[in-house]
Chain A
Amino acid sequence: MGFLQLLFNGIVTGTIFSLFAISFSIIYGTTKVFHFAHGMVFTCGAYFTFVFHVLVGMNIVPSILLSMVFTAILGMAINLIIYEPLQRRKAGPLVILVGSLGTYISLNAIVCLIFTSNVQVISAGTGSVFTLASVHITPTQVVVIGIAIVINCFLALFFMKTEAGLSIRALGEDSELAEIFGMSPRKIKYMIFAIGSALASIGATLNALDIGTVDPGVGLHALLVCFVALVVGGMENIPGAAVGGFIVGMIYHLSIWRIEAKWQQVIVFLVLLTVLLVKPEGLFKRKKGKI
């Protein structure tokens, strides 16, 4: 494949990955919960869309919206059933992480029991491919980039201008101070889980439409992308995570240029280890007070 084609594919995958990373970073940066079960939130997001779009036969737009609602409910349910009771028992971060791992394994088993672990086809074919300067572009890819841009603008406005967005940032900055100012951390946390999970659903759905299939393993893949993006972009830093996700997507595709595709994941994780060893605070250091 030509370099330009890889560059374009990298941009498409990069925008999807940055959605993944944002959805994880919103939760991790503000509630400080290492939400490993987010991996299954991705999977369920993709499967909800699969159910509404393919099994029920609804149009794609309402099925994505319904999937966002259901995934948001799932995210809030995980917070209600797993994290809140653990935090009420004064559990430390490691205990919460193990609880999250348990949630991940259980949800994975449930999805496999319902849908089997086979690959399911979600979109038939790629539609009419058009070519621009020797780069093949599918309509799905255009839609992916469009939706990603809209969501990023919307998120930036949300975190800068609206009261809800500002209160989420306040909670991430200093939860005690936020409480003193009369905010309810509990309510804000539910809001965070709802937003993060809904975003995960969009990301996972776009990814599924881009590659055309869903299987229970997509969530883990997306989660691993999140970790790399977070480490590269700096933990707890939403724009950093977005850029990190984009970089991971680019590495994914540009590495194919010279190296066989099967080594993609190894390369990405070697990048992760290198960044962890050399610059553990991430490439983009966050100033206090910024998002």
Chain B
Amino acid sequence: MDYVSYVAVVICIWVMLAISQNLVLGYAGLFSLCQGAFFGIGAYTSAIMYLNFGSNIFVSAIVGAFISSLMGIAIAMPSLRLKGDYFFIATLALQIIMFNLFVCWESVTKGPLGIYGVFRPKILGMSLNTNISYFLFALFFVFLCYYLSRRVCNASFGLTLKAIREDEVGAEAVGKNILKFKVLVFVFSAIWASLAGTLYIYFIGAVDPFAFTLEESIFILSIAIVGGMGNLRGSVLGAVVLIAIPELLKFAAMPESIAHQARNLIYGVCLILFMMFRPQGLIGEYRME
């Protein structure tokens, strides 16, 4: 039971990440590969806030979200000029720079060894030391994330994003400020990725840079794509499928390193097969071009 709720918390965290990727890619049609960087900013900021200032989880979450939304603004600003492959390379550059920052900025991030000793938070006098209680806590955030994203996407904001995705010039012609919408959706998405990072660090208790590599960003991308783009339920489904199924590999008594590579192989093959036979994902509403 403890193991099941452990997996459930992991799924919760990746649902938030997938929603954050889905907002940018599925709704706004911006191909970004830097969700892992926002995730890392959230995790590192929370860890540093906790250890240096003893701040509680909510304060760390807000500070982390603030910093990653600044990064979101920075990467969204050039999105008007950079299209397609160029924008992809720019987000890739952000991902690589952030990863190197986590590894190299040793005075703050402790370098490749990472930061240890973050304990589970106390909420309303209750300690979240069991996985089940932490799961309920994380579930609350997932619901918050899902509900707010849904509200936003069904409102005129989401409709405008879809309009921009389908026809940017057309959306501009009817008087929409494209840059404003792109920046806002990036900020919104960065906040959820950063919150997922906060949940992650308080759950695991330790953080090192290798959790936020390019591979991680590709993994988040595959959850969003397999689940279905332009549909938030798709992200939930994608996270459940792509995390729960490889977890079963653990019962096949493989060594950890082989299981890890087998998992990657599954994700890679999934991406290829979906692109060939169902590019919109399981229950997606948007077909990439």
Binding site for B on A (CB under 8 A): 34, 82, 85-86, 89, 91-99, 101-110, 112-113, 116-117, 220, 224, 227, 231, 235, 262-263, 265-266, 269-270, 272-273, 276-277, 280
Question: B261 touches which one: A89, A112, A273 (CB < 8 A)?
Answer: A112
- Give the chain A neighbours of B214 by CB distance below 8 A: 220
In the complex, chain B residues whose CB is within 8 Å of the CB of A97: 31, 85, 88
**Partner pick for A227 among B82, B89, B103, B258, CB 8 A cutoff:** B89
15 contacts between A and B (CB under 8 A): A34-B85, A34-B88, A89-B276, A94-B84, A95-B289, A102-B272, A105-B218, A105-B265, A107-B268, A113-B261, A224-B96, A231-B86, A263-B100, A270-B97, A280-B86
Contact (Cβ within 8 A) A94 B269 = no
In the docked arrangement, what's the CA distance between A160 and B227, Å? 48
B interface: dominant SS: helix
Is residue B262 within 8 Å, beta carbon to beta carbon, of the partner chain? Answer: yes
- Closest residue of chain A to B86 (Cβ to Cβ) is A280
C-alpha gap A99/B92 in the complex (Å): 17
User: How many A-B contacts are there with CB distance less than 8 Å?
Assistant: 124
A109-B261 in contact (CB<8A): yes
Interface string of B56-98 (1 = CB under 8 A from A): 0000000000000000000000100110111011101110110
Q: Which residues of B contact A95 (CB under 8 A)?
A: 275, 279, 288-289
Cβ–Cβ contact B104 & A263, under 8 A: yes
Partner of A269, one of B97, B268, B269: B97
Of chain B, the residue at the smallest CB distance from A99 is: B275
The A contact surface, by secondary structure, is helix
Whether A85 contacts B276 by the Cβ 8 Å rule is yes
Beyond A34-B85, A109-B264, A113-B265, list 20 extra A-B contacts (CB 8 Å): A34-B88, A89-B276, A95-B275, A96-B275, A98-B221, A98-B271, A104-B268, A105-B271, A109-B261, A112-B261, A227-B89, A235-B86, A263-B104, A265-B96, A266-B97, A269-B93, A269-B97, A273-B90, A273-B93, A276-B93
Q: How far is the CB of A275 from chain B (nearest CB, A)?
A: 10
Docked complex Cα distance between A231 and B103 (Å): 25
Residues of B within 8 A of A231 (CB): 86, 89
Q: Which residues of B contact A (CB under 8 A)?
A: 31, 78, 81-82, 84-86, 88-90, 92-94, 96-97, 100-101, 103-104, 214-215, 218, 221-222, 225, 257-258, 261-262, 264-265, 267-272, 275-276, 279, 288-289
